[in-house]
A and B are shown apart, each in its own frame.
Chain A
Amino acid sequence: MITLAIGLSIVLLLVILFLLFRIGTLASIFRGSTQRAAGTTKTSNKVNSILMLLFLIVGGAAFAWSFADAWDDMNQPIASVHGAWTDSLFWTTMIVIGIVFVITQILLFWYSYKYQHKDEKRAYYYPHNNKLEIVWTMIPAVVMALLVFAGWKTWTNITSAAPADSVVIEVMGKQFSWLVRYPGPDGKLGEANVHLIDATNEIGVDFSDPNSMDDFMPREIHVPKGKPVHLKIRSRDVIHSVFLPHFRVKMDAVPGMPTKFWFVPTKTTAEVRTETGNPDFNFELACTEICGRGHFAMRFILVVDEPEEYEEWLASQTPFIEQNPQLLTKFTQDSKDQVVLEKSTEEVKTEL
């Protein structure tokens, strides 16, 4: 019954709108405005050009207000060294383009309003001015050159080789969660292979490799404040992307192609909690490359500790293989076979 009522009222509304439209059309025929060239009728031209001006003023004000209103929410806390560089470069660029934005939009709508059609007036025949063209080619070219230079310097710094004393962490994306591995006291990650993956050994670590014996896989990432962190990023199924919004870090996780990103955290989780006044604040790791059904739910926690706390945390971790000793049984047999296999392939290579 209600659907019927809604349907009927929609039909009624459409009929009324259609009648209004017909009346408008007929009225314009009686007024004779249809006799004039399109776009030269006095009222519609005036109304539209005033609306253009209003759009500029009201729209501009609304934009400014909403921007200011959203300011706090759009600025995520920054917690890395390079994050401060990119944020300052971002806002500098925003100011540059903001100036261009304001000038061009004002001119566009102001001219639209000011030079609206008048019967007695005639447009100014002004086909070109090469000097002007050169000027407004050169100005953006110079500005772009400066921005490219600033961007290039920042980019080169960010993507430079990670320092040797970095904390190395392997992050592996999978549908739909993250797997994390630390190299343990020896500082070396053991070999891993996609064919060794099973329900327990989700990264496919090769436990016949001595380097993997002390590797551990925690349920959240811990990193020390002020020390470089080197993320070694991999994926085991489809492309994912490691995104740490507060550290301004993003790098794709590509199956078959390890990637990396390094950064220096500057604030501990506790510090940001006091800074934002939010006792539940956590640094989060999100996925930013479409990866399937659970793409929006690949959340992982990252904790920045003071260096001492970090050492304590490290000491409290037990190697993965100690937690899952049953895995070794599989490897003692497999690894012997593999060693033999690898040797034979090496021989083949040397022969070739």
Chain B
Amino acid sequence: MSSTDISLNKDVHHAHDEHDHHHDQNFFEKYIFSQDHKVIAKQFLFAGIFWGFIGGFLSIIFRLQLGWPEATFTFLEPIMGNWIVNGKIDPEFYLALVTMHGTIMVFFVLTAGLSGTFSNFLIPLQIGARDMASGFMNMLSFWVFFLASVIMFWSLFIETGPAGGGWTVYPPLSALPQAISGSGLGMTLWLISMALFIVSQLLGGVNYITTVINLRTRGMSMTKLPLTIWSFFLTAILGLLSFPVLLSAALLLIFDRSFGTSFFLSDIYIAGEALSNTGGSAILFQHLFWFLGHPEVYIVILPTFGIVSEVIATNARKPIFGYRAMIGSMLGIAVLSFVVWAHHMFVTGMNPFLGSVFMFLTLIIAVPSAVKVFNWIATLWRGNIRFTTAMMFAVAFVSLFISGGLTGIILGNSALDIQLHDTYFVIAHFHLVMGAAAFFGMFCGIYHWFPKMFGRMMDEKLGAVHFWLTFLSAYLVFMPMHYIGIAGFPRRYYSWTGFDAFNTFTDLNSFISIAAILGFSAQLIFLFNFVYSIFKGRRATANPWHSNTLEWTTPVNPGHGNWPGEIPAVYRWPYDYSKPGAPEDYIPQNVPFSQTQSSNLPYERDLE
């Protein structure tokens, strides 16, 4: 059906070709400083994969320490240099490792790598636009991100080490170089890098929102948008509203660090002297940080909601169950995400009444989240499921999201959070629900849209091996962490052996580390599959998954402008899978009702 459209527009298409040839781009314009959303998306993807491996590698090093606290790691000396003394990892370097692991994974991989890739790639293709509203801003967004990446990467190699006060960089620890060596130059670079990162996010976000609002093709009303676009749209709005608050927190922290102000500092005696700072509030920073930090969690997970919904519907060959309920629950989650930030701060000494309010608001989020899970499961029910690699990642995503999400009900309860706050229970919770789940959503997206990105298929068998190893190790790593957390093991501990209360579970910790190494190694299979398939993968057809959305109506390798002819118009929602009476089990969005009289529902007859 899509092919008929293209052939109808053949003559228009010729004129266009000549037009394109006129602007022959050189290598730099085409691949480096490109303004084409597809190229920018791939740039974000490559950067995200690069950072993903760095972040994963850091976690393996600190898992070695946690798994075998008594061992010596002389073999790491060639890579780590002075951070390993006589085979022992330096405790401050350990803290720098967890800090950078968190920063890299949350911001550079799961925000930039995820939204940057899929919002850029899919928004114009799925709404039927030639490109983003501003290609230039889009290009700027990537290159500012690139600059932020370079600075963050550089900070890994400086003598005093990268930032080491945890990814939440709470002052005074992050404000005082006397407190930890990572708060010296490393923290300065962290702040500069994050400030640039926020600029990049805002440039991107403004673009996504504008494009979705203004550049939808004829017939593409908001209620005909694929759920992916809804999720990217809401993600961009969250980012636009919350990232500036982090920027303000970062700026105030820069002032405190470098210009002697006291926004966050008060009554401090450190390194043998009392500081003159007075009147500041360390808790203020936490409020500012989590006002971004909590929406940030949803900035990470919302895009994957969209990706997974799309992939599940396509491969179950069924319409997504409760399309409007899915949009409604995403809206609900997006709104609520702004009024729950203080649940990260129940035991900071904040007024207990505030704690009650935030507990109430936090637990409400469980409702829309539950609705989403039920809808995904209902979509699978009586489907005709094709287990592509993307589909397996999508099913596993739902599983991980349930496992991690449910414990949120416990942590959101302020009374229970007293014992569990900053223990491994929290680590287990958020790694499952926004770490592993978001990674699975990202893999799901990569496997699913790889043919559109590179014109070739990824190998499905290698994909399955990658999937099963990753899925298995995700659970093997994070499920046992709940036990350790219930026992009260605090996070960011270099070693627990100093405490009688925490000297159990040594075998379990070694087990977790082994599972983590297995999981990390499995990613090498993905890397091979990804790189190999770009060059040598099987050639893709225009619509390999038999999907309904508009991106599959473009040629196998869509050029600049996406559609060679006119942009297709949209007549129906994106989920007409297995419609009774239709010859095929899918009807793309650009097929008018007049061509599908056999399958039209009663109310659709008027639209013929």
Q: Evaluate whether A124 and B403 lie within 8 angstroms (CB atoms) in the complex, with A39-B315, A155-B414 already known.
A: no
Do A115 and B349 touch (CB < 8 A)? no
What chain B residues lie within 8 Å of A158 (beta carbons)? 415, 418
Interchain nearest-CB distance for B427 vs A (Å) = 12
Interface residue ranges, A against B (CB under 8 Å):
21, 24-25, 28, 34, 37-40, 44-45, 47-49, 51-52, 55, 59, 63, 66-67, 70, 73-76, 83, 85-86, 89-90, 93-94, 96-97, 100-101, 104-105, 107-109, 111-112, 115-118, 121-129, 132-133, 136-137, 140-141, 144, 147-148, 151-152, 154-156, 158-159, 174-175, 194-195, 197, 204, 233, 236-239, 241, 243, 245-246, 248-252, 254-260, 280-282, 284, 286-297, 299
Contact with A along B377-393 (1 / 0, CB 8 A): 11011111111100110
| Residues of chain B with a CB closer than 8 A to A248's CB | 418-419
A108 adjacent to B359 (CB under 8 Å): no
B116 to chain A, nearest CB (A): 26
Interface contact A237-B387, CB-CB below 8 Å: no
Cα distance, A217 to B378, chains bound together (Å): 63
Which stretch in B252-260, B288-296, B493-501, B555-563 binds the other chain?
B493-501
Cβ A126 vs Cβ B382 within 8 A: yes
B360 within 8 A of partner (CB): yes
B323 within 8 A of A: yes
CB closest chain-A residue, reference B524? A14
Q: Which of A104, A151, A256, A287 contacts B266 (CB 8 A)?
A: A256
Report how far A89 CA is from B544 CA in the complex, Å: 51
A204, B274: Cα distance in complex, Å: 10
- Residues of chain B contacted by A236 (CB below 8 angstroms): 267-270
Q: How far is the CA of A154 from the CA of B418 in the complex (A)?
A: 11
In the complex with contacts A127-B575, A284-B500, A21-B459 CB distance below 8 A: yes
Known: A70-B508, A151-B415, A282-B500. A124 touches B318 (CB 8 A): yes
A124 and B282 in contact (CB under 8 A), knowing A90-B410, A141-B367? no
B320 contact set on A, CB distance < 8 A: 127
B12 located at the interface, meaning its Cβ lies under 8 Å from any Cβ of chain A in the complex: no
Sampled A-B contacts (23; CB under 8 Å)? A38-B388, A39-B391, A44-B460, A52-B395, A55-B471, A93-B410, A115-B380, A117-B384, A117-B387, A118-B384, A125-B319, A126-B382, A194-B268, A197-B274, A237-B179, A239-B282, A248-B418, A250-B418, A256-B278, A258-B349, A291-B179, A296-B493, A299-B499
- Evaluate contact between B395 and A108: CB separation under 8 angstroms: yes
Number of interface residues of B (CB under 8 A): 126
- B382 in contact with A123 (CB, 8 Å): yes
Whether A101 pairs with B392 at a CB distance below 8 angstroms is: no
Tell me the minimal C-beta distance from A88 to chain B in angstroms.
11
CB distance from B184 to the nearest CB of A (A): 13
Contact with A along B78-118 (1 / 0, CB 8 A): 00000000000001100100000000000000000000000
Shortest Cβ distance from A87 into B: residue: B419
Q: Is A159 within 8 A of B355, CB to CB?
A: yes
A97 vs B388: C-alpha distance when bound (angstroms): 31
In whole angstroms, what is the CA distance A59 to B387 when docked?
Answer: 20
Extra 18 A-B pairs, beta carbons < 8 Å, given A25-B459, A282-B500, A286-B502: A49-B385, A73-B487, A100-B370, A101-B403, A115-B384, A125-B319, A126-B321, A127-B321, A140-B370, A148-B359, A155-B414, A204-B269, A250-B418, A254-B349, A257-B266, A286-B501, A288-B491, A292-B173
Contacts of A28 in B (CB 8 A): 461
Q: Which of B360, B421, B471, B496 contacts A250 (CB 8 A)?
A: B421
Which chain A residue shows the least CB distance to B459?
A: A25
Contact A284–B281 (Cβ < 8 Å): no
Residue interface mask B401-442, A partner, CB < 8 A = 1: 011001101100111101101110000000000000000000
Closest 10 CB pairs of A and B: A256-B266, A39-B386, A259-B349, A159-B352, A245-B488, A124-B382, A39-B388, A123-B578, A154-B415, A151-B413
A289 to B344, CA, bound (A): 12
- In angstroms, Cα B384 to Cα A125, docked, is 11
Chain A residues with Cβ below 8 Å from B414 are 151, 155
Residues of A with C-beta under 8 A to B387:
39, 44-45, 48-49, 116-117
- Decide if B385 touches A293 in the complex (CB within 8 Å): no
Cβ-neighbour of A108 out of B319, B377, B493 (below 8 A): B377
